[in-house]
Chain A
């Protein structure tokens, strides 16, 4: 198996650090050897931590001329065998979208961090939000599938970054880490374990270097540049050997099916969530990221008041655990989705409730959502 147990660069123990720093440390632990970045609030601390670590570890950091270039550079680096990463926030995330689509189309593993701030446009650079949930899913054009993770704590910023690299390598796809400014700039304790599991990409194997051959959900081997494979890598529709087939409907259909199936058919390896007090819950909350912290507090407070409330917290936001939405919708009398936007997750949950109405608790003014506002919704009051 391409999985190895590896000691981290940090000694096992407890560390007090910022979410952005934990993300960078997680990348170093995961074996990231190439980082291209561009300054942006509130994500710059990831780049700055990487710079310090990479100098010690002799890995490659480059500050590019813009966000587009940093996304392009990590894709180029990935084809030399490097585990590569970039980090940004909303405006930069928007600029990365075309080359993100290129990474999806060319099945290039890489990790893209979006530390979400208030938008649209420049918005409020130092304020927190969860407004990029749908951008992570659909920001680049054309039919596609993506993996996106949502850590809710500084410790998870560390471990979910490791998982992001592992998933990128295993499924040959870009993986997005959706943090919030609130987590990126939060300082908390991180318990670093002795060793972590690392997935190393399969470079050599039978078959062509791109998908489209049977079985369509299989991840093809990814040879690196400079090893005699004479690879043809293109963002145009291509056959499994990389030849452009820009007029052929069968090649396009098979390629799209492959890109979707390699992720959707393996959701059990990708989709993770946590459940709190859901066994007998009549009021079910579904949330993610920083908002889920307030939601958990609201659940605990509701329980003290004798209300049977519970929480489902998404760690993987894309793809979503839609089957679990269905069973929870069948169980629940009330469904509530707290989030720091106007209802991006609520709309997704609503599609899987069999018509049962989902109540939103929303905040998008740059402040963190509060347990009190969620508790009011749990108690049947107004949501905002």
Chain B
């Protein structure tokens, strides 16, 4: 990140609360870099988040108006902001437990309505802040504090979920794809449409250590090795990345 982009970060928020190896920082870096490259007006931007580690990406880091809301409800608050003042750019950044598990209903309805807000899910496949419990995106077989013998239930494919609900401008990237992520953020920041990002950030501390991905570098390598760029054909056994 260029030094001058630090204007988008509050100067008194470091050291960050994120654990070493957390991909949420990569997401934040890509988002801030996108703002910086666009010289985006930070006073016309409202960041809305929910509860959990993902809720802390924007609040307090982002030096913009921020609304750190209740668990799962960031999208309804964001809709209130956007509809009451359509001139504002409203971006929701939160986690998978927040946006897709407790708050899944709001996500599908925002997609259905195509409310012109951007929703970015920092998806680490786990409830990190509360100690590593299974979420709606925890893969089958994954070990968590609440699935010690392996997760029995199928996870949401967030791209399919949001597309199926009617959402447009749907993207997925991993923590490995920082540059692609940044470019996509730049694209949606210049539009006034609904858009959704499933960003696989990875959680070495709560997810990785129980699933043989304890080393952050190993986790990122795993993301890279298992990702396939989407070009019309969707493989359910791979991490499909790109625009859908």
Contacts and interface: CB of A to CB of B under 8 A. Distances in A.
Contacts of B75: 69
B68 A77 contact: no
Interface of A: 33-34, 36, 60, 62, 64-66, 68-82, 84, 98-99, 102, 225-236, 242-244
A76 B88 contact: no
Given A226-B44, A244-B60, A72 B65 contact: no
Contacts of A62: 79-80, 83
B67 A233 contact: yes
Contacts, number: 128
B84 A34 contact: yes
Given A69-B109, A72-B80, A75-B80, 13 more contacts: A65-B106, A69-B73, A69-B75, A72-B76, A79-B81, A80-B80, A82-B84, A226-B46, A230-B43, A232-B59, A235-B70, A236-B68, A244-B60
B42 interface: yes
A230 B67 CA distance: 10
B73 A230 contact: no
A226 B43 contact: yes
Contacts of A229: 65
Given A76-B48, A232-B59, A69 B106 contact: yes
A69 B70 contact: no
A99 B73 contact: yes
A76 B68 contact: no
A99 B77 CA distance: 10
Interface in B167-192: none
Size category, B interface: 20 to 34
13 contacts: A33-B84, A62-B79, A62-B83, A69-B76, A69-B105, A75-B77, A76-B77, A76-B79, A225-B65, A225-B88, A226-B88, A232-B68, A244-B68
Contacts of A244: 59-60, 68
B76 A226 contact: no
A232 to B, nearest CB: 5
A79 B77 CA distance: 10
A145 B60 CA distance: 27
B81 A225 contact: yes
Interface of B: 10, 12, 42-44, 46, 48, 59-60, 63-70, 73, 75-85, 87-88, 105-106, 109
Looking at chain A's contact residues, the main secondary structure is mixed
A70 B76 contact: yes
A243 B80 contact: no
A64 B70 CA distance: 17
A230 B65 contact: yes
Contacts of A235: 68-70
A352 to B, nearest CB: 35
A352 B43 CA distance: 51
Nearest to B56: A244
- For the complex of A and B, the 4 pairs showing the least CB-CB separation, nearest first, are A76-B80, A72-B76, A73-B80, A69-B76
A74 B84 CA distance: 9
Contacts of A68: 73, 76
A65 B85 contact: no
Contacts of A80: 80-81, 84-85, 88
Contact of A77 (B73, B81, B87, B106): B81
Contact of A60 (B48, B66, B83, B105): B83
A76 B43 contact: no
A227 B82 CA distance: 15
Contacts of A79: 65, 67, 81
Contacts of A226: 43-44, 46, 65, 85, 87-88
